[in-house]
Structure 1
Amino acid sequence: MNAFISQTFTMHQIINLKQVILFTGISRATIYTMMDPKSKYYDKTFPKQVQLTIGRVGWSAFEIHQWIESKLNSRVVVESVGA
């Protein structure tokens, strides 16, 4: 018998920096600048890293997706004038 019948299962994926760069279109340097609270380009909404091992970090793919969605939702819609 399958124990997962009528249950919802969400798998969270951890992605590496190259994937974050690919998904966001933002360079490595800019990502780390946005994560630095001392930087004038600091973005407190940018997802935090997940420490995987001593020398390895990753990001939640879901959180990166949410961040991209928030940027898309915050766009100003410009109406055409004189149409």
Structure 2
Amino acid sequence: MSALWSLGVIESLGHIGLGVKFNIHYSLVLVVLSDALVLRIYHVLIQKIKLEYFRRVTAVGYSCVFFGWIAILKFCAI
């Protein structure tokens, strides 16, 4: 996404409603939702499946947001 931003792709999508505000808004939504989903999965693994290993596991990264953007851009292109 930073590559798209630095190339000016994000700004150029403004004419179809996918400009800077859209990018910032949905990036924040995707960060929150992906973190909530990971925490929920860890909770299920710890509480239901009794995998105590996941009490010490941390998840850091932007890949969930990146793949969420792939889905958003795919559906917007249809």
The answer to whether the superposition gives a TM-score over 0.5 is no
TM-score scaled by length of structure 1: 0.27
Structure ranking higher on relative contact order (CA contacts 8 Å, 6+ apart) = 1
Name the structure with the higher helix share.
2
Larger Rg computed on CA atoms: 1
Name the structure with the higher strand share.
1
